[in-house]
Amino acid sequence: MDTFGIVGGGIAGLAVARVLGRNGYQVTVFEPDMPATGFSADDAFTDWVRPHIAQLRQPHSARSIIRKLLVERDPELYRAVLDGGMIEWPFRLPDFGDEEYDPELVGFLGRRPTFEKALRAVVERTPGVTFVTERVTGLNADPANPRRLAGVTTKSGAVHDFDAVVECTGRRSKLMDWLQGLGLRRPTEIEQDCGIIYYSRYFRFREGVRIDHGNYPSGPSANLSTLQYTMNRTDNGTFSLMLGVAPWEPLFNHLKDERVFMDVARALPGTMSWLAPELSEPIWRVEWFTGLVNRHRTFTQDGRPILENLFILGDSRFHTNPIFGWGMGLALRQSAMLVDALSAGGGIAAAVARFEAEADIYGRKHFEASAGEDRARMKYWKGELAEPQTPGTPEYFVTQVQPAAFRDPGIYRAVTRRAHLLDDPLEILGNGEVNRRAAAIPRVDHTKMSRVEIMGIVEASARRHLDETRLKLAVRA
Ligand SMILES: Cc1cc2nc3c(=O)[nH]c(=O)nc-3n(C[C@H](O)[C@H](O)[C@H](O)COP(=O)(O)OP(=O)(O)OC[C@H]3O[C@@H](n4cnc5c(N)ncnc54)[C@H](O)[C@@H]3O)c2cc1C
């Protein structure tokens, strides 16, 4: 049976290891970080040392596509994820009742360490899969064929040979340099700024609190001018709050101060139903993530894959604005594509060609959808979309269709299916029925709070806490 070397044991690497192992292949996963074996979900969240994943403690939505793939293809993993603490959650809007409810719109809620720990435990017991706790430092060319790899080299200098290599090292991947190092042409890359900085924090509900979900799919959320926020219930009585803010507003830097973060968070519409001090308490510091970009890489050159036994999956292939919560679902979808490409027969080279053709289109569509929506959101936040927009454009989608989703169950269903990776991400822009229904709803400014109001809250909080700090220092002196 063919042997596979998987570089990177994050979500994409683990998902591929699982599908390959279940299909009888011999798989070695190279992952430098130690697993969370033996930790409880709470300990994994606080104590798991994962230096290669900067986003480990950022909120991670597990979209409905993940549950759908597990239910349809891997019931054992589906059960393990639930046993590990993830909550199965129907993404319905309470006001709509059961009207047009879609049974596929069911995802998981939980923290990323909880999900990843459950996934890793199942992969570890999958026949044919072994782990090597080491970093890969480069890809090795096959001396007999420049279009093939022989395997990989690790940090200790050990050389490992495989029939195929699967690259899953995430958004900081060194793959482009490795390929160039082999004397290959650098793959083309497109990139667009996400126009957002992420701030987030995790909390735990106090004992006995009845959780009020309000009229939200999973927790209070809104897109305000210059700021978007989402609260999500997560596993073991915890919840997350994510604030995505405009990078061009330097005052938002004060959100790194947890006192300012909490003042701003508590001033947002609907948040106090979870954040009031008598209801919950923080369990972690404020985390932030800057420099976010949408990125897509093309690994086909002159009509054929760059190498005939290299698969590239997950964030190192393409990634989108994390605010959409797509990365893990996209990774699992690509792992299914890979195994389907192998199952179609013809050997590894044929499978790489098939996979490349499908994954490239898939990646490009999600890149375009994410980048288009980001461009529109940036204009919206800058006040440039006051006039009615043209149906079929991302600008119309952001200003007319998305707000209308809270008023019309049909639009809600279409928008939420796309958000959960169940439908083509670009198709909704030209969906005549959705656009007609959205046009019938008077345009409401769903931003609820103006830019001036939001920046005023940030500034007042920052000043107050700066004065407090100055006072403390003066007293100490
Ligand atoms: C701020 C933020 C928030 C996000 N929120 C969400 C969300 O809500 N929902 C969602 O689905 N996705 C979210 N994502 C995206 C998600 O984290 C990834 O898309 C998803 O985990 C798939 O990534 P991956 O496996 O390709 O990479 P990663 O999860 O980054 O894993 C890469 C792995 O490769 C390993 N590695 C790196 N270099 C080497 C090497 N040289 N040798 C061997 N191993 C190596 C690393 O240790 C790591 O384990 C978010 C991302 C960010 C940045």
What digits encode the pLDDT tens for the residues 292-345?
A: 999 999 999 999 999 999 999 999 999 999 999 999 999 999 999 999 999 999
Predicted pLDDT of residue 43? 97
| Predicted confidence (pLDDT) at residue 425 exceeds the cutoff of 70 | yes
Quick check: helix, strand or coil at residue 334?
helix
Closest-lying ligand 1 atom to the alpha carbon of residue 319 = 19
Distance 186 CA to ligand 1 centre (A): 23
Q: Judge residue 84's burial from the number of C-beta atoms within 10 Å of its C-beta, 0-12 exposed, 13-18 middle, 19 or more buried.
A: buried
CB 36 within 8 A of CB 44: yes
| Predicted confidence (pLDDT) at residue 471 exceeds the cutoff of 60 | yes
Work out the average pLDDT over 58-65: 97
Q: Which one has a higher pLDDT value, 446 or 306?
A: 306
- C-beta 131 within 6 A of ligand 1: no
- Give, in words, the CATH class of 3-60+111-191+294-370: alpha beta
- Band (391; pLDDT cuts 50, 70, 90): very high
Predicted pLDDT of residue 177? 96
| Predicted confidence (pLDDT) at residue 18 exceeds the cutoff of 70 | yes
The conformation of residue 217, written as its DSSP 8-state character, comes to: S
| For the chain, domain boundaries | 3-60+111-191+294-370, 196-289
- C-beta 163 within 6 A of ligand 1: no
Distance 119 CA to ligand 1 centre (A): 14
Q: For atom 8 of ligand 1, which residue has the closest CA?
A: 60
Angle at 335 between CA 150 and CA 135, to 5 degrees: 45
Which of 166, 168, 243, 294 to mutate to test ligand 1, by most ligand atoms within 8 A of the CB atom?
Answer: 168
Distance 439 CA to ligand 1 centre (A): 38
The answer to whether the 3-60+111-191+294-370 and 196-289 domains have the same CATH topology is no
CB 441 within 8 A of CB 391: no
- Band (27; pLDDT cuts 50, 70, 90): very high
Which range is least confidently modeled, 122-126, 361-365, 433-437, 439-443? 439-443
Predicted pLDDT of residue 258? 96
- C-beta 138 within 6 A of ligand 1: no
Quick check: helix, strand or coil at residue 65?
helix
Distance 315 CA to ligand 1 centre (A): 6
Q: Which one has a higher pLDDT value, 1 or 25?
A: 25
Q: Tell whether the torsion through CA atoms of 256, 260, 262 and 268 is positive or negative.
A: negative
Whole-angstrom distance between the N-terminal and C-terminal Cα of the chain?
A: 72
Predicted pLDDT of residue 250? 95
Predicted pLDDT of residue 445? 63
Q: For atom 19 of ligand 1, which residue has the closest CA?
A: 327
Give the residue from 418, 195, 186 showing the smallest Cα distance to 294.
195
Instruction: Show the DSSP H helices in 11-111 as ranges.
Output: 11-22, 41-47, 64-73, 75-83
| Predicted confidence (pLDDT) at residue 223 exceeds the cutoff of 70 | yes
Closest-lying ligand 1 atom to the alpha carbon of residue 315 = 26
Q: Name 12's Cβ contacts closer than 8 Å, sequence gap at least 6.
A: 168, 170, 313, 314, 315, 316, 331, 334, 335
| Predicted confidence (pLDDT) at residue 444 exceeds the cutoff of 90 | no
Predicted pLDDT of residue 226? 92
- C-beta 322 within 6 A of ligand 1: yes
Distance 396 CA to ligand 1 centre (A): 31
Q: Which pTM value belongs to this model?
A: 0.96
CB 107 within 8 A of CB 66: yes
Work out the average pLDDT over 136-159: 97
Give the residue from 426, 413, 420, 412 showing the smallest Cα distance to 373.
426
Predicted pLDDT of residue 449? 86
Which of 172, 229, 328 to mutate to test ligand 1, by most ligand atoms within 8 A of the CB atom?
Answer: 328
- C-beta 327 within 6 A of ligand 1: yes
Quick one: which H or E segment has residue 369? helix 347-381
Predicted pLDDT of residue 98? 78
Angstrom distance (rounded) from CA 285 to CA 462: 17
Angstrom distance (rounded) from CA 79 to CA 98: 26
Residue 219's identity, in one-letter code, is G
Distance 56 CA to ligand 1 centre (A): 8
- C-beta 326 within 6 A of ligand 1: yes
- Band (204; pLDDT cuts 50, 70, 90): very high
Structure tokens at 247: 């990078």
CB 425 within 8 A of CB 366: yes
- Band (467; pLDDT cuts 50, 70, 90): confident
Q: Name 290's Cβ contacts closer than 8 Å, sequence gap at least 6.
A: 197, 198, 247
* CATH T-level assignment (fold) for domain 196-289: Alpha-Beta Plaits (3.30.70)
Where would I find the beta strands (DSSP E) of 170-237? 188-193, 197-205, 221-224, 227-233
- Band (101; pLDDT cuts 50, 70, 90): confident
Looking at the DSSP assignment, which residues form a beta bridge with residue 281?
Answer: 204
Work out the average pLDDT over 123-143: 98
Radius of gyration over every alpha carbon of the chain, rounded to an integer in angstroms: 23
CB 240 within 8 A of CB 201: yes
Chain centroid to Cα 276, Å, comes to 28
CB 429 within 8 A of CB 202: no
| Predicted confidence (pLDDT) at residue 160 exceeds the cutoff of 60 | yes
Angle at 210 between CA 208 and CA 216, to 5 degrees: 150
Work out the average pLDDT over 275-280: 98
| Predicted confidence (pLDDT) at residue 199 exceeds the cutoff of 70 | yes
Predicted pLDDT of residue 474? 72
Predicted pLDDT of residue 470? 75
CB 170 within 8 A of CB 316: yes
Chain centroid to Cα 400, Å, comes to 25
The mean pLDDT of the chain is: 95
| Predicted confidence (pLDDT) at residue 404 exceeds the cutoff of 70 | yes
Q: What is the pLDDT of residues 64-98, one digit of tens each?
A: 999 999 999 999 999 999 999 999 999 999 888 87
Q: For atom 15 of ligand 1, which residue has the closest CA?
A: 327
- C-beta 199 within 6 A of ligand 1: no
Q: For atom 51 of ligand 1, which residue has the closest CA?
A: 322
Predicted pLDDT of residue 1? 86
Torsion of CA 402, 60, 231, 65, to 10 degrees: 50
Which of 60, 109, 221, 334 to mutate to test ligand 1, by most ligand atoms within 8 A of the CB atom?
Answer: 60
Predicted pLDDT of residue 447? 58
